[in-house]
């Protein structure tokens, strides 16, 4: 296969791959007790299944697109070869804590970027068999049916996703007061615990916004493209675009009509 393949072929490849990867994760989760290790803290977990799924995804990409770069959460960082500007950004299991504790509310996230631009993105929730996808210029889909934003939203009608594991960090970022006020002016705050899935939920209208602190490219690579292709807005807390190189960034994804209001709320105290 060649670099000249169009986005639709990449979406088909990523969709098949995410479904296969999700099946491996579900099979692995059949054991009720999944052993895990800690990464950066007691809240940051990894299992052998995360690593196994990453190895599977990486092997398939290498086999099909040997010249493409690959960045994965569990240690993959391959430059690719030749002059390819294509780079896959993958999270084998997003929501590992849910995977271990709940056996649901986790997903596989696979995205393809060219330069800094998203080409194709897929988020697959294997326990609900829900596949969210976005293809540059072609729109966003849930199990093949188009998804997108309709009508206007106001803050007091909005459901906002975020995660309280970051509460200590909001203090350090001087965002504590803003998050508190946001909880009061919105209709409510929800926390699923899997950033890629929460981004897909914004695109599908199940959440009106998602606020992530300290996210890395593999957490939002696919979800960002899906939200944008659904017609939503994604930025950092200053309203600028996110960098695919940096880890631990603040991310705001939302229905287009509340993005400006949310940025005002996130102005540093």
Residue among 225 and 261 whose Cβ is closer to ligand 2AM: 225
Question: What does the alpha-carbon distance between residue 68 and residue 14 come to, in Å, rounded to a whole number?
Answer: 14
Applying CB under 6 A, among 74, 91, 125, 228 the residue interacting with ligand 2AM is 91
The token duo for 118 is: 């998203």
Residues between 161 and 180 with contacts to ligand 2AM, criterion CB under 6 A: 163, 165
Contact 143, 21 (CB under 8 A): no
Q: Which residues, including other chains, have CB under 8 Å from residue 8's CB and lie 6 or more apart?
A: 135, 138
Interaction mask 100-139, ligand 2AM, x per CB under 6 A: ----------------------------------------
Residues between 205 and 264 with contacts to ligand 2AM, criterion CB under 6 A: 214-215, 219
Residue 208 annotated in active site: no
Question: What does the alpha-carbon distance between residue 142 and residue 140 come to, in Å, rounded to a whole number?
Answer: 7
Applying CB under 6 A, among 72, 193, 205, 250 the residue interacting with ligand 2AM is 193
The token duo for 151 is: 């009508």
Pick the stretch among 93-101, 137-145, 172-180, 249-257 that binds ligand 2AM (CB under 6 A): 93-101
Residue among 93 and 203 whose Cβ is closer to Ca ion: 93
Contact 178, 266 (CB under 8 A): yes
State the catalytic residue, choosing from 73, 135, 229, 261: 73
Q: Where are the alpha helices (DSSP H) in 186-239?
A: 195-203, 217-229
Q: In Å, how far from its chain's centre is CA 63?
A: 24
> What is the set of active-site residues?
73, 91, 93-94, 96, 219
């Amino acid at each position: 296969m060649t670099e000249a393949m169009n986005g639709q072929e990449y979406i088909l490849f990523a969709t098949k791959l995410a479904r296969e990867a999700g099946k491996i994760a579900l099979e692995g989760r059949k054991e009720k007790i999944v052993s895990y290790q800690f990464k950066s803290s007691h809240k940051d977990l990894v299992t052998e299944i995360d690593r196994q799924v990453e190895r599977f995804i990486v092997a398939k990409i290498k086999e099909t697109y040997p010249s493409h770069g690959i960045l994965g959460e569990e240690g993959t960082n391959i430059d690719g070869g030749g002059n390819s500007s294509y780079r896959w950004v993958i999270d084998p299991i997003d929501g590992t804590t849910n995977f271990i504790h709940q056996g649901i509310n986790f997903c596989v996230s696979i995205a393809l970027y060219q330069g800094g631009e998203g080409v194709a993105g897929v988020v697959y929730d294997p326990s609900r068999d829900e596949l969210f996808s976005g293809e540059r210029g072609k729109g966003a889909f849930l199990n093949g049916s188009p998804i997108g934003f309709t009508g206007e939203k106001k803050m007091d009608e909005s459901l906002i996703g975020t995660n309280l594991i970051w509460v200590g960090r909001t203090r350090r970022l001087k965002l504590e007061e803003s998050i508190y006020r946001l909880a009061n002016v919105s209709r409510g705050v929800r926390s699923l615990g899997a950033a890629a899935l929460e981004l897909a939920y914004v695109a599908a209208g199940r959440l009106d916004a998602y606020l992530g602190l300290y996210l890395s490219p593999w957490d939002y690579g696919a979800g960002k493209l899906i939200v944008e292709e659904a017609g939503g807005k994604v930025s950092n807390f200053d309203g600028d675009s996110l960098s695919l190189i940096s880890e631990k960034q603040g991310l705001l994804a939302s229905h287009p009509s509340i993005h400006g209001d949310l940025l005002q709320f996130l102005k540093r105290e």
